[in-house]
Amino acid sequence: MGYFAVAFSLGIIAKQAGLTAAIGFVSSFFTRASAGEYGVYTLVAAQAAYVEIVAMCLVTNLRYMLMSAALSQKIAPGTSWLHRVLMACCVTDEIFGISIARERYCPPAYTYSAALISTLLWASGCAAGIVAGGMLPTAIVAALSVALYGMFLAIIMPPARNDRYVLYAIVASFVLSGACSVAPVVSSWSSGTRTIVLTVVISAVVAWWKPIKMEDADGQA
């Protein structure tokens, strides 16, 4: 439901850019990234060149490179390269969260199932938003989108309760993300760039502060 609600609001923006419901469905089906998609529709409305749109999506969604690198450690040895490529294409923030939280390896069927449900709701929400064309009050759309943040909390709270270092990292990410959004120079960076820098810095500090023993890592694998 969180996917549908957020995509619905994006559909309203897509409608203002002149996209049809069918085009919105297809674009959302293959994009599945709220920040990237918002940027795409904004540039489409401004009649930007294809190169500009592709470059914007690349910068905005660079965080998925880090997520894919982390998830590569959750794939069982012997998994074919085709499955690995398809699983990488399925990565979103939420699918990364539930996949990385799984114990042991993450099988391709798990990723495909999660991606199928989320992608269909995301694409359908965008198409529905285009059809509605902004008829629903903004307050209602904003209220529905809270469900997505609820899913994020459901993903991060259990490990934070079990490991205080995870809790420290989560709190640090909240505080530093808010600070960087208003800090001089850093606030001018794209949200994707800020996310990558903060992810690398916070992860490196926590890894140095509380390294995971090899036997623990093997046990979780």
Hey, where are the domains in the chain?
2-151, 163-221
Average pLDDT over residues 165-188: 89
pLDDT at 81 over 70: yes
> Which pLDDT belongs to residue 179?
93
Average pLDDT, the chain: 82
Residue 217 confidence (pLDDT): 44
Q: How many CB atoms lie within 10 A of CB 52?
A: 12
Q: Is the pLDDT of residue 102 over 80?
A: yes
Confidence of residue 23 (pLDDT cuts 50, 70, 90): very high
Task: Decide if 110 contacts 96 (C-beta within 8 A).
Answer: no
- Mean pLDDT value of segment 131-135: 74
Question: What mean pLDDT comes out for the span 107-132?
Answer: 91
Model confidence pTM above 0.75? no
Per-residue pLDDT band at 192 (split at 50, 70, 90): low
Which of 101, 105, 95 lies closest to 72 in space, CA to CA?
105
CA proximity to 157, closest of 5, 149, 209:
149
Rounded CA gap, 137 and 124, in Å? 19
